């Protein structure tokens, strides 16, 4: 790694007696990864082991990544609890995706998953065990076999720490608390990232032969969400602004069991262990919606069933009940201790004695930056992995346990591909004019002294997305949401940042995050209106209640043109499974 420094162009807002302009520090690497969750760290490890000079940028410390909030487990056909194999895993994933998943990508995931899980184990992941010492596996929704490996109900937390240990072991450079704001395109390829240094202040440009974005999802688009405050779609929007298309953006998954009103996740592992869902009448209502799988149906099916019960008056204060009491205190404490703690802290309910009030909440974006099977995007030098990407293994509905597996398998593949390209190329060129343009744009925002603060716009966006683009989609509400988002984007042009300082300026970064989210909301509504069918997470019960394979067995692609979204379509890649009726 080589470094150099020069004085930055200071904003007028910083030219006060008690403030000084920051220094611009430029660094260069072979591979630069934006985001240090599971996908980003796994990509960094693979790229380093391939011989590349690697660094990561993260706006939070890696162990605070949202990956750590994943509770229930990671899917791999290990066969420790049944006769399982990768082909069964692939079929379940294809069916779960409502046949919108690209089958070649799904087969790669399922074939490579067992070896990737064993590698995590060898690195020190402490999985729960069977009596004979093998990795334990629990049943998860829409899975034909019990294939979800788990570490009690803190699987993501365990894996984040295991991978961070590997980052430390390799002594990789991590630019912690750097807010990535812009990707730099020069000579037709991505060659750098412009970031705001949260600790020291000022813009910093870091060059790289290849860049991997692994910034996670955009759940903060919604009022009720399981997502951390950091999940603001940064990487998706940065790619979109360089002309890279986003795929299947209408497909936002709602998790069936989140705490009201916080959105805190209650893991699918509860239902995997045998918990029941009850309505206000004490009835296991899923017998009407998924009579065979019941509580282990797919997430989209259960979320719609819950919302229907609530809408038809059989809920309790806008919730249904998740009942663990029959599992017994010993089993709850051993396998679901994290869930018990969350329920007691955030809902005042001890699940040993009382059912937990839950409702659907925004959870996971199946859509994202379009990539190939190696994480490569349409822009040379730019790769993506994890929830920010859409390869697409999840299609219209993700199976629980497949997200963690995707971060590992496709993080690894993106790291390998990015390193191979970087090691065969030698130059990084970042024109100073691009940095100057970024500084002027940021200066305009910071110099503004009057206007609307961002939080009001953000709250209205989140509330209306929940109301108009939630579990159920209706034409009039989606159109209305498009108008709302357009109006919010106009208001955003005049927002004011009260904090004019350089150090830990959260006021500034939250304003920039809002800009990311508003553009993604516009893309989602555009794609949702165009998909005139019901498929997976995209349910249109009033006008298009059925799946339409003849006209819509294809992906939406959204690009940004003339300050707005432009839609196109792409066929689903099929290998061996033809669409069938999807029942559970």
Give the number of other CB atoms < 10 A from CB of residue 4: 9
Chain-centre distance for alpha carbon 485: 21
Last residue of a domain, one of 114, 133, 150: 150
For residue 314, pLDDT over 50 is answered with yes
Residue 393 belongs to some domain of the structure: yes
- pLDDT score recorded for residue 392: 95
β-bridge mates for residue 146, sequence order? none
Give the model's confidence band at 303: pLDDT under 50 very low, under 70 low, under 90 confident, else very high.
Answer: very high
Average pLDDT value for residue range 392-397: 97
For residue 9, pLDDT over 90 is answered with no
Give the model's confidence band at 11: pLDDT under 50 very low, under 70 low, under 90 confident, else very high.
Answer: very low
Give the model's confidence band at 57: pLDDT under 50 very low, under 70 low, under 90 confident, else very high.
Answer: very high
Q: Residues 75-104: pLDDT tens digits? A: 999 999 999 999 999 999 999 999 999 999
Residue 498 belongs to some domain of the structure: yes
Give Cα separations from 88 to 169, 258, 263, 382, 512 (angstroms). Answer: 36, 29, 32, 33, 43
- pLDDT score recorded for residue 426: 80
Query: Is-contact 62 174, C-beta < 8 A?
Result: yes
3-state helix, strand, coil in the chain (%, to 5): 40, 20, 40
Same domain, 177 and 306: no
Query: Sign of the C-alpha dihedral, residues 424, 427, 428, 433?
Result: negative
Same domain, 528 and 470: yes
Alpha-carbon span 480 to 482, nearest angstrom: 5
Same domain, 441 and 531: yes
Query: What are the backbone dihedrals phi and psi of residue 27, each rounded to the nearest 5 degrees, phi first?
Result: -135, 160
Domain carrying residue 65: 23-69+158-252+364-423
Q: Residues 156-175: pLDDT tens digits? A: 999 999 999 999 999 999 99
b/e map of 285-311 (b: 16 or more CB within 10 Å)? bbeebbeebbbbbbbbbbbbbbbbbbe
Same domain, 78 and 194: no
Give the number of other CB atoms < 10 A from CB of residue 513: 25
Average pLDDT value for residue range 211-226: 96
Contacts of residue 168, defined as CB under 8 A and 6 or more positions apart, other chains included, come to none
Last residue of a domain, one of 86, 121, 150: 150
Indicate the pTM of the whole model. 0.93
Average pLDDT value for residue range 313-327: 97
Query: What are the backbone dihedrals phi and psi of residue 25, each rounded to the nearest 5 degrees, phi first?
Result: -105, 120
Residue 299 designated active-site: yes
Same domain, 30 and 48: yes
Last residue of a domain, one of 372, 397, 423: 423
Cis-peptide into 401, omega within 30 deg: no
Residue 17 belongs to some domain of the structure: no
Burial class, 253, CB count within 10 angstroms (exposed 0-12 / middle 13-18 / buried 19+): buried
The residue among 277, 272, 267, 264 whose CA lies nearest residue 362 is 264
Residue 85 belongs to some domain of the structure: yes
Same domain, 223 and 121: no
Residue 18 belongs to some domain of the structure: no
For residue 22, pLDDT over 70 is answered with no
Same domain, 190 and 125: no
What's the CATH code of the domain at 472? 1.20.58.100
Alpha-carbon span 411 to 575, nearest angstrom: 23
Residue labelled with tokens 């990737």: 116
Q: Name the residue with higher pLDDT: 364 or 260.
A: 364
Query: Sign of the C-alpha dihedral, residues 188, 190, 192, 194?
Result: positive
Long-range contacts of 190-193 (CB under 8 A, 24+ apart): 190/242, 190/379, 190/380, 190/381, 190/382, 191/381, 191/428, 191/429, 191/430, 192/32, 192/428, 192/430, 192/434, 193/32, 193/34, 193/57
Average pLDDT value for residue range 202-224: 95
What's the CATH code of the domain at 308? 3.90.700.10
Give one DSSP letter per residue of 88-155, joined into a string.
HHHHHHHHHTTT-S-HHHHHHHHHHHHHHHHHHHHHT----B-TTSSBPEE--TT-SS--EE-STT-H
Residue 444 belongs to some domain of the structure: yes
Choosing from 220, 299, 473, 547, the catalytic residue is 299
- pLDDT score recorded for residue 262: 86
- pLDDT score recorded for residue 10: 37
Same domain, 474 and 499: yes
Same domain, 83 and 146: yes
- pLDDT score recorded for residue 78: 98
Query: Is-contact 52 422, C-beta < 8 A?
Result: yes
Same domain, 52 and 171: yes
Q: Residues 458-476: pLDDT tens digits? A: 999 999 999 999 999 999 9
- pLDDT score recorded for residue 15: 33
Number of domains in the chain: 4
- pLDDT score recorded for residue 260: 84
Q: Residues 330-388: pLDDT tens digits? A: 999 999 999 999 999 999 999 999 999 999 999 999 999 999 999 999 999 999 999 99
Alpha-carbon span 443 to 13, nearest angstrom: 7
For residue 20, pLDDT over 80 is answered with no
Residue 521 belongs to some domain of the structure: yes
The residue among 457, 435, 442 whose CA lies nearest residue 509 is 442
Alpha-carbon span 185 to 193, nearest angstrom: 9
- pLDDT score recorded for residue 62: 95
Give the model's confidence band at 14: pLDDT under 50 very low, under 70 low, under 90 confident, else very high.
Answer: very low
Alpha-carbon span 423 to 417, nearest angstrom: 10
Chain-centre distance for alpha carbon 234: 11
Same domain, 414 and 468: no
β-bridge mates for residue 55, sequence order? 32, 173
Cα angle vertex 413, ends 409, 416, to 5°? 140
Alpha-carbon span 57 to 44, nearest angstrom: 11
Average pLDDT value for residue range 246-264: 94
> How high is the mean pLDDT of the chain?
93
Same domain, 62 and 81: no
């Amino acid at each position: 790694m080589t470094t150099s420094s020069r004085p930055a162009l200071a904003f007028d807002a910083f030219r006060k007696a008690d403030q000084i302009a920051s220094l611009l520090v430029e660094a260069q690497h072979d591979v630069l990864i934006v985001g240090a969750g599971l996908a980003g760290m796994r990509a960094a490890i693979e790229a380093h082991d391939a011989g590349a000079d690697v660094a990561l940028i993260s706006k939070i410390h890696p162990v605070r990544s949202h990956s750590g909030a994943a509770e229930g487990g990671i899917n791999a056909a290990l066969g420790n609890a049944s006769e399982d194999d990768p082909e069964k895993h692939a079929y379940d994933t294809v069916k779960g995706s409502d046949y919108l998943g690209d089958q070649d990508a799904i087969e790669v995931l399922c074939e490579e998953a067992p070896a990737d899980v064993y590698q995590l184990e060898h690195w020190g992941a402490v999985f729960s065990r069977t009596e004979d010492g093998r990795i334990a596996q629990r049943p998860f929704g829409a899975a034909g076999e019990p294939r979800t490996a788990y570490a009690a109900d803190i699987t993501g937390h365990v894996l984040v720490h295991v991978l961070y240990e590997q980052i430390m072991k390799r002594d990789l450079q991590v630019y912690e608390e750097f807010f990535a704001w812009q990707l730099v395109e020069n000579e037709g390829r991505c060659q750098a990232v412009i970031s705001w240094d949260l600790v020291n202040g000022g813009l910093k440009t870091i060059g790289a032969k290849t860049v991997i974005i692994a910034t996670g999802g955009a759940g903060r688009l919604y009022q009720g969400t399981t997502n951390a405050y950091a999940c603001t779609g940064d990487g998706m929007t940065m790619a979109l602004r360089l002309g890279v298309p986003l795929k299947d953006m209408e497909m936002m998954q709602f998790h069936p069991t989140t705490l009201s009103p916080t959105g805190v996740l209650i893991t699918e592992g509860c239902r995997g262990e045998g918990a029941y869902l009850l309505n206000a009448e004490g009835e296991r209502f899923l017998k009407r919606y998924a009579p065979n799988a019941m509580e282990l149906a797919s997430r989209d099916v259960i979320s719609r069933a819950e919302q229907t019960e609530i809408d038809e008056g059989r809920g309790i204060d806008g919730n249904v009940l998740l009942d663990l009491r029959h599992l017994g205190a010993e089993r709850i404490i051993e396998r679901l201790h994290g869930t018990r703690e969350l329920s007691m802290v955030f809902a005042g309910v001890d699940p040993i004695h009382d059912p937990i009030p839950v409702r659907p909440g925004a959870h996971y974006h199946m859509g994202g930056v379009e990539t190939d099977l190696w994480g490569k995007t349409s822009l040379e030098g730019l790769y993506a992995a994890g929830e920010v990407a859409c390869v697409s293994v999840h299609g219209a509905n993700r199976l629980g346990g497949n997200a963690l597996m995707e971060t590992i398998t496709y993080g690894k593949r993106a790291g390998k591909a990015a390193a191979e390209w970087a090691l065969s190329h030698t130059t990084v060129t970042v024109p100073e004019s691009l940095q100057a343009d970024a500084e002027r744009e940021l200066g305009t925002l910071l110099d503004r002294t009057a206007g609307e603060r961002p939080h009001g716009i953000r709250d209205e966006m989140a509330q209306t997305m929940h109301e108009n683009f939630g579990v159920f989609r209706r034409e009039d509400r989606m159109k209305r949401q498009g108008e709302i988002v357009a109006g919010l984007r106009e208001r955003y042009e005049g927002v004011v940042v009260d904090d004019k300082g350089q150090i830990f300026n959260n006021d500034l970064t939250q304003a920039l995050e809002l800009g990311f989210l508003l553009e993604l909301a516009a893309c989602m509504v555009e794609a949702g209106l165009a998909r005139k069918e019901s498929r997976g997470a995209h349910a249109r019960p009033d006008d298009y209640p059925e799946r339409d394979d003849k006209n819509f067995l294809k992906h939406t692609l959204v690009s940004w043109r003339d300050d707005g979204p432009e839609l196109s379509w792409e066929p689903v890649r099929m290998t061996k499974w033809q669409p069938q009726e999807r029942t559970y």
